[in-house]
Amino acid sequence: MGTVSQDELYMRAAAEFGPALARLAKAYEADASQRLDLLQDIHLALWRSFSSFAGQCSLRTWVYRVAHNVGISRRVRRRVAKLISLEELADLESAESPEDAAHAAHALERLQGLIRKLKPPDDQVMLLYLEDMDAVAIGEITGLSSRAVATRIHRVKLLLSRHFRQGETS
Amino acid sequence: MTDIKTVWQTQTTEDNEMITLTEIRSRASGLKARVQWRNLALYAYSMANIAITAWLISTGHHKAYMRYEVPGLLLVAAHLFVIWQVWWRTSVRAMPGDLIGRAALDYLRHQLERQRNALSSAWLWYIAPFMPGLIWELWMRANLHPHGVAPDIDRALVLFLVLSAAFFWIAVGFAFAWGAARLDLRLERLNTLKAE
């Protein structure tokens, strides 16, 4: 694949998925400078990855795979605080009532806090669920079977309904 | 009334979502340059050592009764071996081009396997190659000396150095093995996840 195609693919991907990539970076990094650094790392990895992209999967799947893999690498490298699974997170007591989390800004902050506590691939499933992806797409990106994805989505829904009163976040 | 997905998808992101190709290329060049400088420093260090050893061998700047050629050549071979290993391990062949675009579980498995392999073999290709030459030289300095001439190094000191080095490297070996075992455990968990 030539340089022109690589650039074109990147420009297309950045235009189409740029906001989703920024949300992903925001979920992984609380600190603004680290977040920008991660976002730039994702864009760089994406641009470089298009030299070996030969239509193995859809553009969307490829973009999310690259972005999540950069996120994973960073988490592994930085040895962030102990991460837990969805099941373990569900067992933790919610410090605030759903009413407290009713404001959108506050809800967003809490949501990002929850994602940062999760270990892979649970964090990825939750992020992709929030991006409104179906189980098949999540399976393609994470490598989990559709059954495993379905189980996790179920847990994500339970967790979200416990921490936020669905439909009343604003 | 909105749900949590809408809150998530409509959040404002202050970061610049569209990064220009010029910025990307500049970041790529910076990254490449950092890796090249790191490898260059290692190559320069090895080449300097090779040059000094070759000079010592060719000019005979060592005591006549010591056969410095053999340990010297062993050290040169060790340096060349390490240079080749660094080149091979950091070359494109070591990392599949499409790796970053693979499903997250496969990517994570590849990363963990790479770390595990590095932990379990680094001392073998980075440290062990120098040992024969160094031990040979130490032994020679402690033992080869004409009658009535004191050895270069005291035998007790050589013994102490060898035992200390052995103890240190055994401890390092255990630490690496422990790290590799932990990574094996994580790999097993990944396999379980994949099989779910």
The better pLDDT of the pair B4, A4 is held by B4
Using CA atoms in the order A40, A131, A143, A162, what is the torsion angle rounded to 10 degrees?
120
Residue A167: pLDDT band (50, 70, 90) is very low
Closest partner CB to B8 (pick from A18, A23, A48): A23
Model ipTM? Answer: 0.80
pLDDT of residue B63: 63
Residue A98: pLDDT band (50, 70, 90) is low
Q: In this predicted model, what pLDDT tens digit does every residue of A26-73 receive, in sequence order? A: 998 888 888 888 999 999 999 999 988 988 899 999 999 999 999 988
Q: Show residues of chain B in contact with A4, CB under 8 Å.
A: none
Question: Which residue shows structure tokens 């980075």?
Answer: B126
Minimum mean pLDDT among A122-126, B92-96, B164-168: which range?
Answer: B92-96
Min Cα separation A66/chain B (Å): 5
Q: Whole-model pTM?
A: 0.74
Q: Show residues of chain B in contact with A148, CB under 8 Å.
A: 193, 196
Burial of B2 (0-12, 13-18, 19+ CB in 10 A): middle
B163-169 long-range contacts, CB within 8 A, separation 24+: B169/B123, B169/B127
Helix, coil or strand: residue A21:
helix
Asked if residue B149 has pLDDT above 50, the reply is yes
Min Cα separation A16/chain B (Å): 10
pLDDT of residue B127: 81
Cα A40 to Cα A36, B18, B79, distances in angstroms: 6, 10, 37
Cβ–Cβ of B100/A108 closer than 8 Å?
A: no
Closest C-alpha to A113, from A32, A26, A42: A26
What CA–CA distance (Å, rounded) separates B98 from A59?
14
Cβ–Cβ of A143/B194 closer than 8 Å?
A: yes
Cβ–Cβ of A15/B24 closer than 8 Å?
A: no
Residue A168: pLDDT band (50, 70, 90) is very low
pLDDT of residue A132: 93
Element (H, E) at B164: helix B155-195
Q: In this predicted model, what pLDDT tens digit does every residue of A133-164 receive, in sequence order? A: 999 999 999 999 989 999 999 999 998 888 87
Q: In this predicted model, what pLDDT tens digit does every residue of B161-188 receive, in sequence order? A: 788 878 887 887 788 888 889 889 989 9
Nearest CA in chain A to B7: A104
pLDDT of residue B22: 85
Helix, coil or strand: residue A83:
coil
The better pLDDT of the pair B141, A63 is held by A63
Q: Which string of DSSP letters, residue by residue, matches A100-163?
A: GGGSHHHHHHHHHHHHHHBPTTHHHHHHHHHTT--HHHHHHHH---HHHHHHHHHHHHHHHHHH
Domains of chain A (ranges, CATH numbers): 3-78 (1.10.1740.10), 86-163 (1.10.10)
Closest partner CB to B11 (pick from A108, A141, A151): A108
Share of chain B above pLDDT 90, in %: 9
Q: Are B193 and A148 in contact (CB under 8 A)?
A: yes
Peptide bond between residue B151 and the one before it cis (omega within 30 degrees of 0): no
Share of chain A above pLDDT 70, in %: 84
Residue A13: pLDDT band (50, 70, 90) is very high
Asked if residue B38 has pLDDT above 90, the reply is no
Instruction: Tell me the backbone φ, ψ of residue A118, rounded to 5 degrees.
Output: -80, 145
Using CA atoms in the order A133, A135, A141, A144, what is the torsion angle rounded to 10 degrees?
160
Residue B15: pLDDT band (50, 70, 90) is low
Instruction: Tell me the backbone φ, ψ of residue B154, rounded to 5 degrees.
Output: -65, 140
